[in-house]
Structure 1
């Protein structure tokens, strides 16, 4: 039997914390905010029923301190922690620590975060479920073998970091002679930002559309989708404009993309809200890009 949740600590700040607290109020669930000293008068702090100050050299370091956040939840009698987005929301270690403390993590299980948060394991899992993925080469530990195998796919290629996101450790390679240096630079950047230098290469779909599907799962293999969003207007791999529904997307293609996202979500026994992202080529072929194992920033769209 699922334990009742009477109080939730919101491990975030700003707009998303305010949204979550507002929803908790509507549900009659008590809320706890956390904040750094400089955020003591922030909107989310004033909205919450209780607030706990976190220590840290900076606000960011405070909001990344899993131990302090879990201690605050226990001290205030919270039953659950909602991570929002950013900060610790996709940190499998944090999710595992929350559950080990006897609290509910409002999000997917730690194992699913680890599986789908790593782009290589996520691609392998997606492929095993019959979800289309772009031709790719995974890291081998040997740069020469990796470069030669990547070149055999054909150009242009997209070099990507296995961990993280946000365009870090990512570059487009158009010529064979540039591949080795691009792979080296991408690995260096990935190591610097994510502490993981693994990179992989996949066929780059030129002039692509970026389509993502909002999903909700029950953690037991049941799931629904809330249709798709178009997020093709980007700068440096960062989304600028999102639109729903995606324009000029045929009914059959829309259905196939959404069904693909559902198949993946159900197979992973995904729990809570998430987003499955795809690249769509001009020829109508679509490929799995990644899964965001958290509430999406643009979820209201």
Structure 2
């Protein structure tokens, strides 16, 4: 990336502080993970050089068969910044290869931390709060290790992935159940505890997604969070996944269940049925992914006709454990 920018920036003759749109093009054989790493590197290096990145387009646009590489372009915004950004962000035709415009957050701050409070000290806590926290986590894990859930998620993943989504969720849930007695009672500490263990126990992309979401959510809850606080935490989790994963609502990912659930929880926060409404929204969002064309994840390599056979398993998995949490709290 540094070598590309060294050649590109002198030719563009950008004045300091000039806004640009970064275009990172996959030449055909570069993995989504590599593309995300390269995009992050380009974004940060441009910032260090005083170039304001107003937006980013990342995708497979012009290829050289299956060449393993990328091309990097900068679109200056000097003449008509607002109009150009609006046009680049405009919705494209369904089925189009256009990946859309990603707008960087104003404050890009990493959410993953390694300063987790050691679990043995937290495990000495007692009282109703810690009992409820552990009961809720146990309910979510029991849902994910059930044979019906594992089979359903694996079958969905068979259509558009590698048929291991159910097994991945089951293995992670079993690992969490094994550490249940060490889960802290404080909500923020409990979320960080879960993130820490999932980072090591949950394989695949879904593990990283949950770690990002849990760490972001932990920053939004205090010692006695209200439903509105939990709504903000869930929304923060979704935004962290958006920022670091590059997906948006409508891309056929877990976000299509997370973000509607957060919105429903926020709008119904004063209702006794708030969490039930959030579960309903998550289920509906997950179901809608069956009619969506994937723009992120392995499903992008699968024909839309095959994608339409089942919803996104990650979104369904989220809705399932959220339903288990709601049932545990209600009971």
With normalisation by structure 1, the TM-score equals: 0.27
Which is richer in strand? 1
